[in-house]
Every structure is written in structure tokens, then in C-alpha cells.
A and B are shown apart, each in its own frame.
Chain A
């Protein structure tokens, strides 16, 4: 079993829809949770960063962490065609090396 599991998609939604992207994990030591957006043939861009449990909102994006269920989500409201990209979750365990473990990414397509 991988430490971080992410549905690869592709996920196709109409413009304006609410998108829910999810990751599950097995390591209960994970405390730092990140979401990256990666456009085709580009480097990942940090979207959201959450420490421990709870919600964090930034514009149309909301990140949720449920440590009891080992489950994290990224919600995108009023999705736009420009949101079409691969979304990667990443997690860190608070150790000395600050290494991140990445999910495989979910490909999202927002249809105009």
C-alpha cells in the first residue's frame, strides 16, 4: 500500500461546478499537508498549505484535513477552464529532513 493514495482521474466537470479532489494516507505521523497545481509540461505550483487538522480557505480554494480519517480534500468553487491541470497532494511528517511524500496527481478538465 502506498503511503499516499490519490485517484488519478481524469475528472471532467462543466465550468462553474464545485470540484472535490481527495487524498488518503496511511502514515499517522503526517502533520503538514499541501496541494500543488501542475499545468502540462510545467513545474508544480504551491496552492494551499495546511498544518494539522481543519480547513483553510483562499479565494475559490478550500483545503480540508481530517486526521482521524487520514483524508484530505481540496475544493474548488466556481471552477474555470484555467483550473484544468493536474492536482498533486503532498504530505510531511515533521521529521528533521522536511521531505514531502507526493500523491500521483488527479487530472482535472473544466469544460467551458
Chain B
């Protein structure tokens, strides 16, 4: 089965800790994206990558970091610099040059 996996589904951390969210896809897509979803705010783009070893900041990149060492993987690190990290995080991928993005199941991060 082709698709996007995100793990874990739920993640709990203490304030001040960095945490890494996993995103893996076996769709052979070149482009991958990270979004944050908060109630009433829709999806906001954190980072995106159109090719291995390259990535760009989205609209709300402050306090986040990413890497793209493999085509299949695009992990997101939520650092202690992120002021309000509790949210639902969604990873997506697409064929390069195409707008249809396919989403993973999401990770709900709670920081207390």
C-alpha cells in the first residue's frame, strides 16, 4: 500500500524539550510539506521541500527545523524556541510540479 505515515499519533512533551515528528512516504513523490493545524485557523505551512537536500521556510517556520536527507523522509523538529507548540501537525507530499497534495494521518503534539 502506498501512502504517508506519521508517527507517533499522539506525543506529549514538557516545555523546553525539543521533539522530532516523523514523516515517511512511499509514493515516490519529490515534494513534501509540513503543516500545522489549530482550531479555526486552517492549515499553515511550516516548511516544504521540493527535492532531497533542499527545503524552504513556509509561513510559520520560526521555532521549527527540518531535514531532507532521503526522498522518502521529511522529519520535523519542534524546538524549545517555538512559543506555542501544542497543535495538530500534518505532513503531505506531492509529485513535483503538481498541486495535488496527499496527507498523512497527523501527529497531535501536546506540550505542558
Contacts and interface: CB of A to CB of B under 8 A. Distances in A.
A72 interface: no
Interface stretch (A13-21, A55-63, A73-81, A97-105): A97-105
A43 B99 contact: no
B105 interface: yes
B interface majority secondary structure? strand
Interface residues of A, number: 23
Nearest to A51: B99
A66 interface: no
Contacts of A34: 99-100
B103 A98 contact: no
Nearest to B90: A43
B11 interface: no
Contacts of A92: 99
B31 A104 contact: no
Contact of A97 (B48, B102, B104, B108): B48
B98 A98 contact: yes
A103 B42 contact: yes
A46 B106 contact: no
Contact of A105 (B31, B42, B50): B42
The 8 residue pairs across chains A and B that have the minimum distance between CB atoms: A43-B103, A104-B42, A102-B43, A32-B99, A92-B99, A102-B42, A43-B105, A44-B103
Given A88-B43, A104-B42, 4 more contacts: A32-B99, A45-B103, A49-B100, A98-B98
